[in-house]
Structure 1
Amino acid sequence: MTPSPTPESALKPALAHLRASKERRVVFLTGAGISAESGIPTFRGTDGFWQPGNTHVPEIARLRPEELATKAMFDRAPEILWPWYLFRRERCHAAEPNAAHLALVRLESALGDRYRLVTQNIDGLHTRAGSRRVFEIHGNIDTMRCTDGCATPYPLPYAFDGWEASRPWDDAARAAMVCPGCGAPARPHVLWFDEFYDEEHYKWDSTLAVVAQADLLVVVGTAGATNLPNRMAQLALARRVPIIDVNPTQNPFAAVAERSGGAALVGTACEVLPGLVEQIVAASSVPRDRVE
Structure 2
Amino acid sequence: MLDGRTKEFLQEALDGDRLITFLVGAGTSADSGIPTFRGKEGFWTIGSKNATPQSMGTKKMFDVNADEVWRWFLYRISICEQAKPNLGHIALSSIEKRLGARFALISQNVDGLHFRPESLINNLYLIHGDLRYMRCADECSKALYAIPLFFREQIRSRETPLTFDEKQKLICPKCGEMTRPHVLWFDEYYNEKYYHLDTTLRIAKSTGLMIVVGTSGATNLPQRLVERTLSRNGKVIDVNPETNIISDKLRGLVHGHYLQGKSTEALQALEEYLGERG
TM-score by length of 2: 0.91
Number of the residue aligned with 1:289: none
SS at match of 2:188: coil
Number of the residue aligned with 1:140: 130
Structure 1 CA distance for aligned equivalents of residues 276 and 250 of structure 2: 21
Shift of 1:261: 2.4
Distance 1:260 1:36, change over 3 A: farther
Shift of 1:12: 3.8
Structure 2 CA distance for aligned equivalents of residues 190 and 44 of structure 1: 15
Residue 111 (structure 2) aligned to one of 99, 102, 123: 123
8 Å CA contact retained: 1:11, 1:262: no
Number of the residue aligned with 2:2: 6
8 Å CA contact retained: 2:57, 2:186: yes
Provide, for residues 194-250 of structure 1, a one-character-per-residue CA deviation record: whole Å limited to 9, x for no partner: 111111100001111111111110000001011110100111111121111111111
Q: Does 257-266 or 36-45 show the bigger shift?
A: 257-266
Number of the residue aligned with 1:290: none
Q: Is residue 58 of structure 1 aligned with residue 45 of structure 2? A: yes
Q: Is residue 94 of structure 1 aligned with residue 82 of structure 2? A: yes
Shift of 1:281: 5.3
The amino acid that maps onto 1:70 is: T
Shift of 1:163: 4.7
8 Å CA contact retained: 2:79, 2:155: no
Shift of 1:184: 2.2
Shift of 1:141: 0.9
Shift of 1:65: 2.5
Using the aligned pairs only, state the percent identity.
38
Shift of 1:257: 3.7
8 Å CA contact retained: 1:143, 1:155: yes
Structure 2 CA distance for aligned equivalents of residues 226 and 44 of structure 1: 13
Provide, for residues 116-151 of structure 1, a one-character-per-residue CA deviation record: whole Å limited to 9, x for no partner: 101001001112121121111101111100122211
Structure 2 CA distance for aligned equivalents of residues 64 and 240 of structure 1: 40
SS at match of 1:140: strand
8 Å CA contact retained: 1:86, 1:163: no
Q: Is residue 35 of structure 1 aligned with residue 35 of structure 2? A: no
8 Å CA contact retained: 1:237, 1:260: no
Structure 1 CA distance for aligned equivalents of residues 274 and 193 of structure 2: 31
Residue 94 (structure 2) aligned to one of 103, 106, 115: 106
Structure 2 CA distance for aligned equivalents of residues 221 and 15 of structure 1: 18
Distance 1:157 1:19, change over 3 A: closer
TM-score by length of 1: 0.87
SS at match of 1:243: strand
Q: Does 122-131 or 252-261 show the bigger shift?
A: 252-261
Q: How does 1:1-292 map onto structure 2 within 5 Å? A: 5-7=1-3, 9-21=4-16, 23-45=17-39, 48-50=40-42, 54=43, 57-59=44-46, 62-128=50-116, 129-149=119-139, 150-161=141-152, 162-165=154-157, 166-258=159-251, 259-280=253-274
Distance 1:260 1:145, change over 3 A: farther
The amino acid that maps onto 2:10 is: L
What is the aligned-residue RMSD (CA, Å)? Answer: 1.9
The amino acid that maps onto 1:234 is: E
Provide, for residues 30-62 of structure 1, a one-character-per-residue CA deviation record: whole Å limited to 9, x for no partner: 0010101111112345xx423xxx4xx532862
8 Å CA contact retained: 1:243, 1:256: no
User: Number of residues paired by the alignment?
Assistant: 271
The amino acid that maps onto 1:158 is: L
8 Å CA contact retained: 1:243, 1:260: no
In the alignment, structure 2 segments of 5+ residues that lack a partner are: none
In the alignment, structure 1 segments of 5+ residues that lack a partner are: 286-292
Structure 2 CA distance for aligned equivalents of residues 260 and 125 of structure 1: 34
SS at match of 1:97: coil
Q: Name the structure where strand makes up a greater proportion of residues.
A: 2
Structure 1 CA distance for aligned equivalents of residues 93 and 72 of structure 2: 30
| Higher relative contact order structure (alpha carbons within 8 Å, sequence separation ≥ 6) | 1
